Structure 1
Amino acid sequence: MSRPTGRVLTLLELLQSGGVRTMAELADRLGVDGRTVRRYVDQLVELGVPVEAVRGRYGGYRIGSGYRLPPLMLSDDEALAVLLGLLAGRRAGTPAAAGTAGETAAAKIRRVLPRPLARRLDAVLESLAFTAAPPVFAAPDAEVLLTVADAVRHRRPLSIRYTDREGRRGERSLHPYGIVAHAGRYYVTGADPGIGEDRTFRLDRIGAARALPGSFEAPAGPDPAQRLVSGFAAAEYRHHVTLRIHGTVDAIRARLPATVATVREADVAADAVPPAGPDVERWLRVELRVERLDWLPSVLASLDRPFVVEGPGELRDLVVAFADRLASRARGA
C-alpha cells in the first residue's frame, strides 16, 4: 500500500472512532501538515464519505452522523488485483466471475474508487489484450457450487439433480470429496454410497443440490484432482487402445497426459512398484479409452520412439496409412 493511500485510510479510521478530531491532532497523527490533511479529507469526500468540517475554537473534522463505513476500502494495488482477478476469471470461465455477477462486482468496485485511480485502472484494462478467446463452457450455478463446497468441508452427504451427457435426468446421492477445476470446467468427485464406487459429476450439469442428514469419512488415497484425472483416463469410450512404447514416463506424459492415458511398466501388475524413475527409458504399457482414433497416429509419430500397437487393429491400419502419407509427401509425390 502506498504511503499517501495508507494515510488516507488511517485518517478514515481516526474519524470513524468518533468525535471531532482537530486539525493539529490529525496532522500530528498522520505526520503531515494541515494542507495535506485537507487534501486527504477531500479524497474521502470524493469517495462518498461524509466528512464534516466543524468550525470554532475546538473545531476540526468528524464523520456525518449515521454514516456506516463501506465494507470495502482498497489501496491502488488491491483494487488493481481485484479487477484483474475478475477479468482473468471471466476469461477462464471461473464460476460467478464468468457471468453477470463478475461484471456487476467490477462495476461496484469501480464506483467506489477515486476518479484518478478509476481512470488509471481503465487505462490498464483498455490496453490489455489476450491471446486466446474466452471459453464458452457453461458456468455452474452459484448456489449449487456453494452447497457442494459446504458439503465437502463438513463431510455431509448430498442429493443432486443431475443431467448426464445423454440428456437423462435423475436424482443421485454423493459423498463429495472435493471440487476440481480442469480445462475450463468444474467437477465434484466423490463416492456413490449406493454402489460404493467413485463418481465424478460436472457442476454445470447439476440442477440442484441439497445436504442430507449425517456425515461420512473421506477415504485415504488419491486426492480429488488425482481421482478426477484417473477417472478420465479409465472412462468408458468407444475404443480401448493398448500400446507398448519404449521411452520415458515424462516423454510419454508430455504427449499423453494423465487425463488421457494410464502408463505403467509393460510386464508388471498395475499396482506394482515401478523399477525405474520417470526419466529412464524402458518399455511401458500405455492404455487409453477414446471415442476416435484418427488423432493418435500423429501423436505416436511425435514421440519418435519405438512402439507396438497391441490393439485395436483399426489403429494399426491408421498408423500404417499415416506413415505412407508422410513417406509420399517426403518424396514429393
Structure 2
Amino acid sequence: MPRPIARVLALLELLQSGGTRTASELADRLDVDERTVRHYVGHLVDLDVPVEAVRGRYGGYRLSPGYRMPPLMLGDDEALAVLLGLVAGRRTRLTTAAGTASETAAAKIRRVLPERLRTRLDAVLDALAFTAPPGEAVTPESGVLLPVADAVTHHRPISIRYTDRNGRGSERTLHPHGLVAHAGKWYVTGADLTSGQERTLRLDRITDVRTLPGSFEPPAGLDPAERVLTGLATAPYRHEVTLRVQGTAEHIRTRLPPSVAIVEELPAPETPDGADPRAEPRVRVEMRVDRLDWLPAVLASLDRPFVIERPDELRGLVEAFAARLGHCARAEHS
C-alpha cells in the first residue's frame, strides 16, 4: 500500500479513538508536518468521512458525533487482546457500559472471527480461571464518563448533579483533575468551586454533566490516584485509630495499604548528642474505620511492636484476641 494512503488510514484510526486531536499531535504520530495533516484530512472529507475542524486553544480535528466505524480487521493477537480485555473488565468490575454491553460486544467480535481463531480463543476463555469471584458492578454511564474524561484532558470546567452517600442531591461546578479506577469503582478528583474544596467524587453518583465555557490550569505535580487513596483513608467513619509502630513504612504498607491507612515516618528518638542512629525506625499510623473487630488480627500480622494511642476500645479487643490465641496454643490435642 502506498505510504500516503497508509497514513490517511492511520489518521482515520487515530480520529476514531475519540476526542479532539491537535494538528501537531497528529503530525507527530504520522511523522509528517501539519500542512500534510490538513491535506490528509481533506482526503477523508472527500471520502465522505465527517471530520470536523475545532477552533480555539484546544482545537484540532475530530469525527462528527455518531459516526460509525467501518468493519474491523483484527489479527490473532489483536482479537485475543480485545476479548480478554472485555472478559477481564467484566470480572474486575471495570466495565463502563451499562447492562450487558461488554458481553454483546464480545459476542459480535466472536461472530466475525474465522472458525479456526474462534475455536482457539474459546479454548483460552474456557480454560481461564480468576482468583476472585466477580463482584457487583458499580460503573458510570458512558454519558457521564466520556464528557468528564474530555474535560479532564482539555482542562475544562463542568457542571454536574451529584448524589452523596446519604442520598442528598446537589449541583456543583468542578475543575476535574483526573479519573481513577479503584476497587471496582470510578472516581474523579478535582476542585469543587461550589464548596471551595478539593473533592473526590464517584462517577456512578454523577448525572447531567455539562461542559462550561473557559478553561483552567491544573495544579503542578498532581497525582489523582494518590488523591483518591488518601481521600478514602481519611473519609469520615465511626472510629479514628492512631498507632505508633516500630518498623519501616514500607513494611507497614504491605499490611495497611494507602486506601486503608496513612503511614507517616517518625524521627529517631533524641539523645544528648542528637538523634540516635541506632534506633529502630518508627511510624505513626492513622485510620478511619467503621468496625474495629478486624484490626487485632491485622496488627498481629505486622509482627512489630506497636502502641495504641486511640481508641481505648481497640486495646481491649487486642487483649482479648491475644488471650484467645494463648488459649488455643495451650489447648491439648483432642
TM-score by length of 1: 0.72
Q: 1:89, 1:97 within 8 Å by CA — same for their partners in 2?
A: no
- Identical pairs, percent: 64
Helix, strand or coil at the partner of 1:255: coil
Q: Determine whether 1:116 maps to 2:113.
A: no
* Cα deviation, residue 70, structure 1: 4.0
> What amino acid is the match of 1:248?
T
Distance 1:70 1:116 in 2: 23
Residues 288 and 309 of structure 1: is their aligned pair in 2 closer, same or farther, counting only changes over 3 Å?
same
Aligned to 1:169: 169
Alpha-carbon distance in 1 for matches of 2:324, 2:119: 57
Give the structure 2 partner of residue 307 of structure 1.
306
**Counterpart residue identity of residue 315, structure 1:** L
Runs of 4+ in 1 over 4 A off after TM superposition: none
Equivalent residues of 2:83, 2:106 under 8 A apart = yes
**Does residue 94 in structure 1 map to residue 94 in structure 2?**
yes
- Tell me the CA shift for residue 267 of structure 1: 5.3
CA distance in structure 2 between the aligned counterparts of 1:227 and 1:201, rounded to whole angstroms: 11
Offset, 1:221: 3.6
The alpha carbon displacement at 1:107 in A equals 1.9
Letter of the aligned partner of 2:316 in structure 1?
Answer: D
- Once residues 261 and 284 of structure 1 are traced to their aligned partners in structure 2, the CA distance between those partners, rounded to angstroms, is 12
Structure 1 position 281, deviation (Å): 4.1
1:87, CA displacement in angstroms? 1.0
Change beyond 3 A, Cα 1:142–1:82: same
- Kept after mapping to 1: 8 A contact 2:172/2:194: no
SS at match of 2:307: strand
Distance 2:196 2:90 in 1: 37
* Alpha-carbon displacement from aligned partner over 1:15-68 (angstroms, at most 9, x marks no partner): xxxxxxxxxxxxxxxxxxxxxxxxxxxxxxxxxxxxxxxxxxxxxxxxxxxxxx
The answer to whether the aligner puts 1:232 opposite 2:201 as a matched pair is no
Measured against aligned partners, the alpha-carbon deviations of 1:150-177 in whole angstroms (never above 9, x if no partner) come to 0101111111111211122222221110
For 2:147, give the aligned amino acid.
Answer: T
Q: Specify the alignment match of 1:44 in structure 2.
A: none
Unaligned runs of 5+ in 1: 1-8, 14-68, 269-274
Q: Following TM superposition, by how much is the alpha carbon of 1:256 offset from its aligned partner in structure 2, in angstroms?
A: 0.8
1:186-227 deviations in whole A, cap 9, x for unaligned?
111111113321101111111231111221111124410011
Return 5+ residue gaps in structure 2 as ranges. Answer: 6-68, 269-274
Alpha carbons of structure 1 residues 97 and 84: separation in structure 2 relative to 1, 3 Å: farther
Aligned to 1:326: 325
Report deviation, 1:124.
2.3
Give matches, 1:255-294, under 5 Å: 255-266=255-266, 281-294=280-293
Shift of 1:295: 1.0
- 1:242 CA drift (Å): 1.0
Q: Which amino acid aligns with 2:141?
A: D
Larger radius of gyration: 1
Which stretch shifts more, 244-253 or 93-102? Answer: 93-102
Contact 1:247 1:305 in 2 (8 A): yes
Moved more, 154-163 or 107-116: 107-116
Residue number in structure 2 paired with 1:159 = 159
Q: Does 2:133 align with 1:133?
A: yes
* Structure 2 residue identity aligned to 1:282: P
Letter of the 1:150 counterpart: D
Equivalents in 1 of 2:177, 2:224: separation in Å? 6
Equivalenced residues, count: 261
CA contact (8 A) 2:94 2:137 kept: no
Letter in 1 for 2:256: L
In angstroms, what is the RMSD of aligned CA positions? 2.6
Match of 1:77 in 2: 77
The question of whether the paired residues in 1 share the 8 Å contact of 2:159 and 2:172 is answered with yes
For residues 244 and 217 of structure 1, the distance between their equivalents in structure 2, rounded to whole angstroms, comes to 39
